[in-house]
Amino acid sequence: MFSDSGCTEKWMNKDFWTHNYLATQFARYRFKVGEDDDGNKIKLSFHAFMHYLIRNTDDSPLYLFENITVPTKETQLILQNYTVP
């Protein structure tokens, strides 16, 4: 059971942070989910990641992380809808 800690109360755009909206906006965008043994990025489309996420039973699951120091069109949209807590 999840508890409501109120940490999202001050987010500017709560409608942005839903699975449906994110899937619509980022379905084909490829996010970094890890690195291989040679340090090369491993990327998945957001659609493939959501498919994995829903069915995931891994004890050490993949997660999305993306370097946004050089924003793209897609990551810029994320930055516009996020504020540091």
Burial of 46 (0-12, 13-18, 19+ CB in 10 A): buried
Task: List, for residues 57-79, the tens digit of each pLDDT value.
Answer: 989 888 887 777 777 777 788 88
pLDDT at position 1, please? Answer: 44
CA 2: distance to chain centroid?
20
One-letter amino acid of 38: D
pLDDT at position 37, please? Answer: 94
Dihedral sign for Cα 53, 28, 34, 11, please: negative
pLDDT at position 15, please? Answer: 75
pLDDT at position 17, please? Answer: 78
3-state SS, 49-69, equals: HHHHHHHCCCCCCCCCCCCCC
Q: How many CA atoms lie within 13 A of 84 on its CB side?
A: 0
One-letter amino acid of 1: M
Task: List, for residues 3-53, the tens digit of each pLDDT value.
Answer: 566 666 666 677 787 888 888 888 888 888 888 999 998 999 989 998 998
